[in-house]
Amino acid sequence: MTIKIGDFEFDRDRILESAPAAEPQRQLYFCARVREILKARFERDLSSGEALLRYGKEGLQALEEEGAYATFHIETYGCQMNAKDSEKLSGLLIQSGFRETETEDADFVLYNTCTVRENANQKVYGHLGYVHSLKKKHPSMLVGICGCMMQEPEEVEKIRKSYRFVDIIFGTHNIFKLAELLFDRLTTGRMEVDVWEGTSEIVEDLPAERKYSFKSGINIMFGCNNFCSYCIVPYVRGRERSREPEDILAEIRKLASEGVVEVMLLGQNVNSYGKTLSMPISFAKLLRRVEEIDGIERIRFMTSHPKDLSDELIQVMKDSKKICRHLHLPVQSGSTEILKKMNRRYTKEQYLALVDRIKTAIPDISLTTDIIVGFPGETEEDFQDTLDVVRKVRYDSAFTFIYSKRSGTPAAAMENQVPEEIVKDRFDRLLREVQQIAAEVCGRDVHTVQKVLVEEKNSHMDGYVTGRMSNNTLVHFPGDESLIGSIIDVYLEESKGFYYMGRQEV
């Protein structure tokens, strides 16, 4: 099939035949082909005057400066995994001749969705309504949806039927194929739906666009095998797969050579990292090796499941100069009964004992957590157990969630779903407790000097910058942009509950 765009002509079948079979070469090939198509479209629209209307003078200049021929925008929902996936998707789009824009008024808009709770889904449908109105004005615009929600067949069906203007649908297992999907959409005009049920494949060495120059997330594993009874993640992210340690270390060394000083190792359950590899290695050992990399000054990781947190890990954290003094340790509930129904595989006592071991070994650690209120069958007594854990652990902060029924998970079929008013009341009481304790705990370092990684210009106060302490607390202090990316000493003058005001110590 020969396709003509302006003066540019190409044979779709020949292009497909010559595509390399191996990854990532195949995707880099499709990036190059998409770039040719976008360039041809752009040049046609430039000569017709349409491009000027679409982008304005400044927009055209911005495209030229970046050597791009079209614009894209990604809306990202959900957790750090999705944020990381969006960086990879952006990398592929930039390689394909796109330039990123701030708003959804772009040539390609992609929604990277989350489905962990009901309200995450609702937000996406809201945005789809809006983008449809944009597309009516610019019919050549492309709309894509990917991410966890697209791993649910009912959601895909709903979009196919009721959101016919969507051009590309793919899931969490094949984000690396974005350029190939775009190529197909651009050359056939058909809606492309490509959702995989699962995969054991991990494609390395794809381009990625980092949001920050000085810090970066790194996937160390994908998927989850825990099947907590309320949680959709194992169904939409598939079985647990760890990356080879050498691949991870090589990526971090490269990042360090590019000026990255802080890494965040990402996985749904990092404490079980390495167990499925042909040469098993523990997460603690991986951390020791990351620690040896010159240039990396801070190491963070997320998320830790309490059942798999080893004494070896506590020891490595204690010995480390680089691992940050922060541990996110989701408890979900303080009631042993509810924890059992949640399939968390620890008891209230085991969790508290673990926290004790951690605090004894690393007294300056900050602990944060996730808590779900209103899990099916939760009684006032169970809820009191949760409050009790909150009071005993004294978290620096806690993400509190109202239980959301996810169809397909075992909890959705459980009896005794808790009435909404009761859940709301418990949620409010929990939030008050969490906030009061956090305000007391967070201020403990006031009037000391702390190492702070400067992250950005303060958006509210002119002449101020914002940085992060090792324990994840934010500090605002007078300074200029030249400090961004460096780790400096800051005196904490005043605690504001959840953050500090400080001054640079010279």
Tell me which residues touch ligand SAH (CB under 6 A). 116-117, 230-231, 233, 268-269, 303, 305, 330, 332, 370, 372, 401, 403-404, 406
When CB distances are held under 5 to 8 angstroms depending on the partner's kind, the choice from ligand F3S, ligand SF4, ligand SAH, none that residue 227 binds is ligand SF4
Q: Number of C-alpha atoms within 13 angstroms, CB side, residue 49?
A: 0
Q: Is residue 43 classed as helix, strand or coil in its secondary structure?
A: helix
Q: Number of C-alpha atoms within 13 angstroms, CB side, residue 361?
A: 19
The nearer residue to ligand F3S, 78 or 443, going by C-beta atoms, is 78
Closest separation between CB of residue 164 and ligand SF4, Å?
33
Closest separation between CB of residue 266 and ligand SAH, Å?
10
Rg (CA), the chain: 24
**DSSP notation for 359-428:** HHH-TT-EEEEEEEE--TT--HHHHHHHHHHHHHH--SEEEEEE----TTSGGGG-S-PPPHHHHHHHHH
From candidates 14, 154, 227, 311, binder to ligand SF4 by CB under 6 A? 227
Closest separation between CB of residue 237 and ligand F3S, Å?
5
When CB distances are held under 5 to 8 angstroms depending on the partner's kind, the choice from ligand F3S, ligand SAH, ligand SF4, none that residue 41 binds is none
* Residue 56 backbone class (left: φ over 0; alpha: ψ -120 to 50; beta: rest): left
Site for ligand SF4 in 257-286 (CB under 6 A): 268-269
When CB distances are held under 5 to 8 angstroms depending on the partner's kind, the choice from ligand SF4, ligand F3S, ligand SAH, none that residue 115 binds is ligand F3S
40, two tokens: 């041809």
Are the CB atoms for 327 and 366 separated by under 8 Å? yes
Are the CB atoms for 134 and 99 separated by under 8 Å? no
From candidates 68, 156, 233, 411, binder to ligand SF4 by CB under 6 A? 233
**Which residue's CB atom is positioned nearest to ligand F3S?**
78
What is the spatial distance between Cα 505 and Cα 87, in angstroms, rounded to a whole number? 35
**Residue 148 in the binding site for ligand F3S (CB under 6 A):** yes
Closest separation between CB of residue 149 and ligand SF4, Å?
15
Site for ligand F3S in 212-271 (CB under 6 A): 232-233, 236-237
When CB distances are held under 5 to 8 angstroms depending on the partner's kind, the choice from ligand F3S, ligand SF4, ligand SAH, none that residue 209 binds is none
The nearer residue to ligand SAH, 111 or 230, going by C-beta atoms, is 230
Are the CB atoms for 466 and 504 separated by under 8 Å? no
The nearer residue to ligand SAH, 398 or 454, going by C-beta atoms, is 398
Site for ligand SF4 in 301-320 (CB under 6 A): 305
133 phi and psi angles, rounded to 5 deg: -65, -35
* Residue 409 backbone class (left: φ over 0; alpha: ψ -120 to 50; beta: rest): beta
The nearer residue to ligand SAH, 163 or 401, going by C-beta atoms, is 401
**DSSP notation for 100-157:** E-SSS-SSEEEEEE--SSHHHHHHHHHHHHHHHHHHHH-TT-EEEEEEGGGGSHHHHH
117, two tokens: 């709770």
From candidates 228, 302, 309, 437, binder to ligand SF4 by CB under 6 A? 228
When CB distances are held under 5 to 8 angstroms depending on the partner's kind, the choice from ligand F3S, ligand SAH, ligand SF4, none that residue 234 binds is ligand SF4
Closest separation between CB of residue 228 and ligand SF4, Å?
3
Neighbours of 141 (CB within 10 A): 21
From candidates 68, 106, 178, 231, binder to ligand SF4 by CB under 6 A? 231
The nearer residue to ligand SF4, 77 or 108, going by C-beta atoms, is 77
The nearer residue to ligand SF4, 198 or 234, going by C-beta atoms, is 234
Closest separation between CB of residue 275 and ligand SAH, Å?
16
What is the spatial distance between Cα 300 and Cα 217, in angstroms, rounded to a whole number? 9
163, two tokens: 């959101």
When CB distances are held under 5 to 8 angstroms depending on the partner's kind, the choice from ligand F3S, ligand SF4, ligand SAH, none that residue 82 binds is ligand F3S
Are the CB atoms for 309 and 347 separated by under 8 Å? no
* Residue 164 backbone class (left: φ over 0; alpha: ψ -120 to 50; beta: rest): alpha
Closest separation between CB of residue 236 and ligand SAH, Å?
11
Closest separation between CB of residue 454 and ligand F3S, Å?
28
From candidates 74, 109, 224, 317, binder to ligand SF4 by CB under 6 A? 224
Positions in the binding site for ligand F3S (CB under 6 A): 78-79, 81-82, 114-116, 148, 232-233, 236-237
Binding site for ligand SF4 (CB under 6 A): 224, 226-228, 231, 233-234, 268-269, 305
